[in-house]
Structure 1
Amino acid sequence: MIGVLCISVGFPVLQVQAEEEAQVDNLQLYAQSAVLMDGESGRILFEKDGGEERPMASTTKIMTCILALETANLNDIVTVSKEAARQPEVHLGMKEGDQFYMEDLLYSIMLESHNDSAWAVAEHISGTVDEFTSLMDQKAKKLGCNHTNFVTPNGLDGKDEDGIHHTTAKDLARIMRYCIMESPQKEAFLRITQTKTKTFQDTTGKKQFTCSNHNAFLDMMEGALTGKTGFTGEAGYCYAGAVRQGDKTLIVTLLACGWPNNKNYKWDDMKKLVQYGLDQYEYRQYWEEALQNGEIRLLEAGKEKEVKDSTPQDGNLYNDGTVNAFLNISATDRQKRILMKKTETIEIQIQEQDTIQAPVEKKQKLGEVTLLLNGEVLEQKNIISGDQISRKDLLWTYRQIWKTYAL
């Protein structure tokens, strides 16, 4: 039998909560889909139709770039195919048979959003674009992006047996988080996307190209970290970017954020969402908050539990023994944190065995503690036994009887 106890810890204030809800209502975003994510934890702090599947235009290229960084050598020589050279504007203007170094083409992709460069990189890595987009889909699935379908490596609208080229604001935020927070090539990704201007040549040195970064947001807000713009007729204006101020890293994704004559809508939405995240959220150490609860403190110190049919320390035939049940909260656990609003609370679920039957092994699971935030699991820890305890058997019973009557 398992007993369940649910507790909330925190300090909700109704007036503050009402003010925060009003601020969310007043965001008035242009984007049809938007997400604000905490880069450290991946927690979604705000969303507007974040799960709606939409085309994402050239924000696609963040996946193309990170896959190239992880699977290719930056000194690889990329030979341009006829199909790559045929890609429409925006393009570098490469010709069939031209050769470039991989690293230079990544600057071309991320600074100027060149479609031909993305196509050439995809063919170099996988042999065909279809194989490369399959690689993109596989990577997306590993990142938990289950509503994304890559059809092209450059973000141009397309369609295959799985539907149109699309993602969601949530999935796109997960991809951006991977690129800047988790990938082994995150520093290279940031170095490329933060570069203002890059000049390079083809491998013969006869053709020279200069690429300028079109991510204007890098100069719009303190701590602007990275970003990628996008536009197609189907997708509208799109953006995926990140800002780091102090110890907060905030990721914003915007899909269908206006069409021609509304090019700057995405910058307005970006500023609103980042400022909302900076103003309304603060890091809180969730195990420290959980320790405000007396039951959690008791489990951390060791809670005495009766063990049925176990050998008691006093040797009394008619008593059962006990074992201390522990919840191990380490110094590292106490430092674990997550961005939360002032009004949000941590919910604690404690599940303990109502009846513990001997024998019990040391560190045997006797229950678990789950911390939740808005119904989502933050962390689970096992409640374990502090000692080994034996079961009463005939030999032990005989010995106790002998001791009793022999005395």
Structure 2
Amino acid sequence: MCDFAFVLLAGGSGTRLDSPIPKQFIRVAGKTIVEHSFACLHSFAPDARIVITVPADALEHARDLFKNTRAEVIVGGSSRQASSYAALKHLRADPPKNVILHDSARPFLSHQIIHDVVEALAAHEAVDVAIKTSDTIIVERDGFIQSIPKRDHIYRGQTPQAFRFDALISSYEELGQDKVGEFTDDCGIYMACHPMGQVRIVKGSSENIKITDSIDLVLADELFRIRQQQLTPNLMGLDLKGKNSVVFGGSMGIGKAIVQILEEAGSTVHSVSRRSGCDITDHAQVASTIDGLVREWGHIDNVINAAGLLIKSPLEQQSPADVAQQVSVNLLGSLNVAQCSHAALKASHGMLLQFSSSSFTRGRADYSAYSACKAAIVNLTQALSDEWKDDGIRVNCVVPGRTDTSMRRANFSGEDQRTLLSPYEVALASAKLLSSSDTGIIARV
């Protein structure tokens, strides 16, 4: 049994983010920010109580998000301090020995930090998480620099912060609601009432960022991508036996390798390509293929679109037909596959898996049309993972590195094949992703 309870503070309005919805309910990488933060805490201590404070007008929505968990979702206050106090009063009926408070806007909290906080809390009454500042700190007065303190002992505070429950709630009660608003965090409140008390500092992480401004969402999105590419390949096995899968672009390259791996894993697979009579640039042909397979199989569990086209040459040297063909295959075709698959995947709670390219992060000279389309596929994946979440459809994207396919050999002659990924490496990572419950994943291989 845990001797601590978590408090996840999600009561903010997110005004600095300039978003129509509070920042904690913005979706990133397939989940809301508060769900990511909850997962950090719950995965560390599945049996611990977790109290989540939210705005009153978001209570129903938040309770729906966490309806299949043991989270205790309550209304917070008009400020961070008021939300902390609301959670403490909620816990008082069955008080824990210790309480650990964390900002929901920090969804990258690591298990190592939580472990270090819990360990420090065993010997200290109060614990804070902080990192040394790398910036020069100035003290201002009337628009001028008054002083520049040395950075040796200047830290930037993060969360979680942890306390003996009795010590923290008594501090709130001693100060009263009027005075707690003068403080920016719980350590300040504790220290105001315990002038001889010591707050132990635990080392935080530069990745434990707080999503406050619009730029932070961009950073968060990239951090999730980095983490996902680290986690997804570590899935141990495949869960594809008895699944029905259709692979567009399954006659060659990565698509062909996926067909073989899925068949070996026990999946019933139908390979689709222009050779078999289905051109993904033709909406009617894609719809006919999907409808026919639903009639034949009864349901489709996975739709994989591995079709792609690259014509490598400077844009000004490509004909309008070349550009149109690349956009049609790489982007319009992906939209066709997604649109035609929706009903079938909604019925099966299945997965749509698309493919981008390492060029999506930065357009590459001599294949600008291809790069632009592959960047669009990432955005399509992120958008559909949100749109289709309530339909139970998972939408993910694999971003292969340089892979030894006939398309690549046709465009990059003379490459040392030993430096390239095998299509089967990419296919295996794809099959593992198909076996997962994840959505909104941009998995680099």
TM-score (norm 2): 0.24
Higher helix fraction (1 or 2): 2
Give the structure, 1 or 2, with the largest relative contact order (CA under 8 Å, sep 6 or more): 1
Higher strand fraction (1 or 2): 1
Question: Which structure's CA Rg is the greater one?
Answer: 1
TM-score (norm 1): 0.26
